[in-house]
A = this chain, B = another copy of it.
């Protein structure tokens, strides 16, 4: 179901990786990149296909090199909570337990590196700098998770959408610089499941934000922020730059 590109096919994949400067892999010195490449398998996942299943044995870590995926948890009756969207440079599978704590599904064609758990652990022993980077990454995600708890527990629908739009406007821009115009690759349903709302409420709230002149749409998925300050005010002051 998931296309595996033998890593022998590409020579020196890590050395030429576009995503390296964005990811934890930059903790591995150039001369050692071969060792990293030796345990990595490049995987392509088509849009709509899942590549991590909650509850399954966690055999591997992943590092996204292109595309976007959603991470989510399900309740027995099918209610879904998306816990995050991940794109280029994002490291996946930190959970120490022996089973995955969430599922992951590509929402755009996705390319990522797959590292068998045991082998990466061994590698980490040799590159303490990479372990340090992982701790940094985990700490940042923890901060973002707390911010999301505040959103889910205490913000109104309008405030949630404002927060989400601002987060998306920073997505991919490395230094936290906010773009005024950007494409959201996820559906309204995904946004709803991320914000703890329904599709209808997301749609209605976006419509109202537009009629209130805070945002505009270039297309269904391309947003223009027309009033960044008003949107930030709405989002609840300084949303953490996580």
Contacts and interface: CB of A to CB of B under 8 A. Distances in A.
Q: Number of copies of this chain in the oligomer?
A: 2
Contact of A81 (B76, B136, B154): B154
Contact of A131 (B73, B102, B128): B128
Contact of A73 (B101, B139, B146): B146
Contacts of A196: 152-154
Contacts of A38: none
Interface in A17-68: none
Contacts of A132: 131
A237 B146 contact: no
Interface stretch (A7-15, A89-97, A205-213): A89-97
Interface of A: 71, 73, 75-76, 79-81, 83, 94-97, 101-102, 128, 131-132, 134-136, 138-143, 145-150, 152-155, 193, 195-196, 236-237, 240
A134 B132 CA distance: 10
A234 to B, nearest CB: 11
A95 B154 CA distance: 22
A193 B149 CA distance: 11
A78 to B, nearest CB: 10
A101 B146 contact: yes
B139 A75 contact: no
B149 A96 contact: no
A140 B196 CA distance: 23
A75 B131 contact: no
Nearest to A97: B143
A169 B150 CA distance: 24
Given A76-B236, A142-B145, A149-B149, 11 more contacts: A73-B149, A73-B150, A75-B236, A76-B237, A81-B150, A95-B140, A96-B136, A101-B146, A101-B240, A131-B131, A145-B149
